[in-house]
A and B are shown apart, each in its own frame.
Chain A
């Protein structure tokens, strides 16, 4: 692994962000809109339901967590798609970069992109809605870390598809998060899902993350098992995504996708 090359690829995307004010605005705009919208909705529910009446910020906190996951995953895909759209894909893959270096660089860049959007959104919640996501305490870090890993995992899985099938896989890149959202139990407890969906939800890390966020905020207790299961499933899916990426890279070399990408 070469830090120089990882830094080089990071710079390529960093320059892109810093050169364009609309791009920075785009990173900040959607999380802020999302948080404001869910802030008002959660205020409404908090005053009209018994489930949420002890924890005004539950929905809003979950919205922030989900948005972080969404931004991380889409952000990772965007980095990959940028190379296809700018017809720079071949240049990147003929540079002497190891797959691990490309992935590491994209993982770091995706984190920075997500944080650019997340920090203003978190800062807004306190003056606007009088709540702070920091109430989750030290476990907030673990929940964010878990979401980040899963977001990156989804990004790598989609990028594997792009490598294997080419730009036609782009539509899948946009829809992954929407497909998984119902199983993530982001805004409701897992019991709300039909039994068959619950079985699917239990093999995803999302349900443990959001259940735990609600548990901390509503019951003021910590269930370490949820954090453990989230990391366990994350480790499984992350390893699977890396293996799939390597497989797709080799498949693309056999099929010729790398040389035709972007044309």
Chain B
């Protein structure tokens, strides 16, 4: 299976502080990889480096076999990102936002693409609404539509269902599962919702203090650590200093 994301020994230092300490991992085509870890473990820094927003101190990143450092624009054309911490321009309508981003990503059939995503994400009735006036759940689906406007091969998700009610959260998870299956895309999912990770991810990486401290399939990790669910594994790994540091 083709690796759409290949991360080779990347490090990121901010002065003397080592935010990411030489991590390596791959994400295959048609795979969702979970990126777990307590706050400050280096997840956001890792995602930032994958998006080209941060320059690694050392190491290499390949997206679809292209080296990020040398092919930034080509790579950005095939990836996208969603996070509750970034938003679309609030004063524009949903349709205007999707149209603007379609232009930025040079989407060919903009009208059809917006119609397709609107139907899939159930935002048809929101297209003429002002983005800033939408509820969290509606904004989340609109952000997801923006993130899929360029038919990305690689999708980076940072807490994609944070602050959503259970119904919308479940809708988003189901959508992501189906979309990944249909388009065979790779997804890197950073989340604190362990049920979500268990449901969506084929395998997970556990990060702490800038390092990968464990990895594997959720069920294997649960078994390995003698716990009943992934949340307990997360708590054990986050708390036990001596064992993993």
Contacts and interface: CB of A to CB of B under 8 A. Distances in A.
Q: Is the interface of B mostly helix, strand, loop or mixed?
A: mixed
B100 A8 contact: yes
Give the contact-size bracket for chain A. Answer: 35 or more
Contacts of A259: 44-45, 48, 51, 53-54
A96 B152 CA distance: 12
A9 interface: yes
B135 to A, nearest CB: 17
A95 B14 contact: no
Interface string A68-88: 000000000000001000111
Contacts of B104: 5, 8-9, 92, 95-97
Interface in A20-57: 20
A255 interface: yes
Nearest to A16: B91
A4 interface: yes
Interface string A59-71: 0000000000000
B89 A16 contact: yes
13 contacts: A2-B106, A8-B103, A8-B104, A16-B91, A87-B85, A88-B86, A94-B80, A95-B104, A253-B53, A255-B14, A259-B44, A259-B48, A263-B85
Interface of A: 2, 4-5, 7-9, 11-12, 15-16, 19-20, 82, 86-98, 250, 253-256, 258-259, 262-263
Contacts of B93: 15, 19
Instruction: List 6 tightest A-B contacts by C-beta distance, closest first.
Output: A8-B103, A96-B76, A259-B48, A95-B104, A253-B55, A258-B53
Contacts of B72: 96
A259 B83 CA distance: 11
B54 A94 contact: no
A92 B86 CA distance: 10
